[in-house]
Structure 1
Amino acid sequence: MARARWTTTEIPDQRGRSVVVTGANSGLGFETARMLAERGAHVVLACRNPERATAAAEAIRVTAPDAELSSVQLDLADAQSIRAAAGELRERLARIDLLINNAGAAFGELSLVDGIDRTFVTNQLGPFAFTGLLLDRVLAAPAGRVVTVSSNVPFQGLTELELDDLAYTRRAYGRWHAYSQSKLANLVFALELQRRLTAADAKTIAAAAHPGGADTSFGSNTGGLVGFLGSKPLRWLTGSLAIPAAQGALTTMRAAVDPEVRGGDFYGPDRVKGFRGWPTRIDPGPVAGDAEVGARLWAACEQYTGVEYSFGA
């Protein structure tokens, strides 16, 4: 019988587990890191700003004074930073029980990194590279998981994953379109990663989640979520329908620690078209579930990052 709602009381003891959470200094990432630390996990806060990582660790210790916390500097738009962070973690951790690709960004204007839209680089190419460089550590865990945080935007009318013009030279740049494409790519990536883990007969699983209309600082560089969306009528999303960041993070938590999760599962809030509610397994949709789309994204990510995955034990 399905649970009526999945809450923090369902989070199992995490003592003895090593966890890496990207973007853990604020919002969903902070709440995810806090919940895991409160259950006894060793949590690595992978953040772009070291000072903010330190402040986040101090805040977590308010409710988890004995928390085992550490940090690593990580800028997902910088290939050197990704490799340096992964190298540092490889030296520090023999295994990673849980890798949570939470960090993401939204940019109001087109900005290119090595000729590619910064939004796509930060939200998809960076996590792809970071995961690939640490995958052997996750495979070394007895029940390793990779959880990627997507969005409910794949359900907002997208009919394809566009990979042929990531520099926006042939079409006008739209900030919402660019963000939506990057988050759809996150979901496609998670499902394709699971296909490859299954083919390799690995015990590690990949899952995905989206937080719904969580009240965070997302889009602060473009005037907040409403400013990013650029539509006054959408103020309802940050008003009466918004949910606290801690509740939004529960979908990630369920994908990360619920023993009933299976590889390829996707979790989101269960009400108001995925904007509110409690974590439930949802359909990723036909685009994300298309194996040909997954293979095409994977090839593009390998090409642009230079990172090739090894699925050996």
Structure 2
Amino acid sequence: MTAFNGKTTAEEVAQGKNLRGKVALVTGASSGLGFETARVLASIGARVIITARSEEKAAEACEALQEAVPGAEFATLVLELSELDQVRSAAAELLAREAQIDLLINNAGIMACPLGRTREGCELQFGTNHIGHFLFTCLIAPALKKSPSPRVVNLSSAGHKYAPVDFDDPHYNHRDYDKWNAYGQAKTANIWFSLGLTRRGIASNAVHPGAIMTNLGRHMTEADFESFGSQAHESGFEFKSVEQGAATSVWAATAPELEGKGGLYLEDCQIGEPVNESTPASGYADYALDEQAAERLWSLSEEIVGERFTLA
């Protein structure tokens, strides 16, 4: 247990921490949780690389961050996670520029969008939220491995409880598409990816940031918001501010008590526990920390990207 909770802000988590000499990379940092995470990490000394889907968005975010944290050092990288060729180009560019990455916050993502597919045939949420981050992380692993204590933070969600990964039909080729089921399996994949990375020597934890109104919900309909609000009320779910939502990511990246620890599900700046019927809004599903499923996902991911990664 820590002194923090669901109302703690990222700035409060960062107090007393020092990341001078560290390089952090935050995906999807042009707005929302990614922007706030990048701002706070920079405020305690990290040199922060932010990614966005276009040069324009990256430049705008970088300028705003520079104004928010005068004297901090920022750099940008264009990263479109749904385009694997572009992911490979971005990773190659990063490795050419950076010898070492100490912290990787895989924050970018999409949620509850209409059925779409990547060029490889992946369902879009699975392809963007998991496969894109899987490939990018594995490709830049040489830079992570040069850090004496690398940490990878994968943003998952309580939404992982909607569904595990359906290995028989992960891309909805033979079953009816359900956007929330698809979101759930993508967020479960984020947790399982953390298990796989940790098993291969890079400490990685999954984070549930909480329910926050950000651009992530841009595909949600009015009916979705009404339903979500009703479910939240019934389960005791509370919405967070962006500053509170970024707190667990910053805690995962900086907490001394998490040094060298991986394969955990974190929420409200605490190590998560299995879901309890009395508190359904918190905790993780019984399949969330399934090591065998995580290894099966790793193999499936390698098959999709057409490359094997030992990370040794």
Any idea what SS the aligned residue of 1:112 has?
A: coil
Q: State the shift of 1:228 in Å.
A: 8.0
Within a 5 Å distance, the mapping from 1:96-245 to structure 2 comes to 96-113=101-118, 114-156=120-162, 158=163, 160-197=164-201, 204-220=202-218, 222=219, 224=220, 227=221, 230=224, 232-235=226-229, 241-245=238-242
Any idea what SS the aligned residue of 2:147 has?
A: coil
- Which among 29, 32, 38 is matched to residue 24 of structure 1? 29
Contact 1:148 1:208 in 2 (8 A): yes
Gaps of 5+ in 2: 274-283
Q: State the shift of 1:233 in Å.
A: 3.4
As a proportion of its length, which structure holds more strand?
Answer: 1
TM-score between both structures, scaled by the size of structure 1:
0.87
- Which among 68, 71, 74 is matched to residue 69 of structure 1? 74
Q: State the shift of 1:193 in Å.
A: 1.6
Gaps of 5+ in 1: 198-203, 270-278
Q: Deviations over 1:25-55 (max 9, x none)?
A: 0111111111011111111111112211111
Partner amino acid, structure 2, of 1:21: V
Partner amino acid, structure 1, of 2:263: G
Q: Whole-Å Cα distance in 2 between the matches of residues 135 and 289 of structure 1?
A: 22
Q: Whole-Å Cα distance in 2 between the matches of residues 260 and 100 of structure 1?
A: 18
Q: CA separation of 1:49/1:236 partners in 2, compared to 1, >3 Å: closer, same or farther?
A: farther
Q: Whole-Å Cα distance in 2 between the matches of residues 259 and 32 of structure 1?
A: 18
Which residue of structure 2 aligns with residue 263 of structure 1? 262
Q: State the shift of 1:169 in Å.
A: 2.1
Within a 5 Å distance, the mapping from 1:28-43 to structure 2 comes to 28-43=33-48
Contact 2:23 2:47 in 1 (8 A): yes
Number of aligned residues: 291
Q: State the shift of 1:308 in Å.
A: 2.2
Contact 1:101 1:146 in 2 (8 A): yes
Comparing 99-108 with 282-291, which one deviates more in the overlay?
282-291
TM-score between both structures, scaled by the size of structure 2:
0.87
Q: Whole-Å Cα distance in 2 between the matches of residues 10 and 119 of structure 1?
A: 30
Contact 2:13 2:247 in 1 (8 A): no
Q: State the shift of 1:19 in Å.
A: 0.9
Q: CA separation of 1:228/1:176 partners in 2, compared to 1, >3 Å: closer, same or farther?
A: farther
Q: Deviations over 1:116-142 (max 9, x none)?
A: 211110011000000000111101001
Any idea what SS the aligned residue of 1:173 has?
A: coil
* Deviation >6 Å, runs of 4+: 237-240
Identity of aligned residues (%): 36
Q: Whole-Å Cα distance in 2 between the matches of residues 286 and 68 of structure 1?
A: 42
Root mean square deviation of aligned Cα: 2.1
Q: Deviations over 1:218-271 (max 9, x none)?
A: 121x2x4xx2872523236899932111110111111111111121222112xx
Any idea what SS the aligned residue of 1:230 has?
A: helix
Q: State the shift of 1:81 in Å.
A: 0.8
- Which among 221, 228, 250 is matched to residue 253 of structure 1? 250
Q: State the shift of 1:161 in Å.
A: 2.2
Q: CA separation of 1:303/1:4 partners in 2, compared to 1, >3 Å: closer, same or farther?
A: closer
Comparing 230-239 with 131-140, which one deviates more in the overlay?
230-239
Contact 2:82 2:124 in 1 (8 A): yes
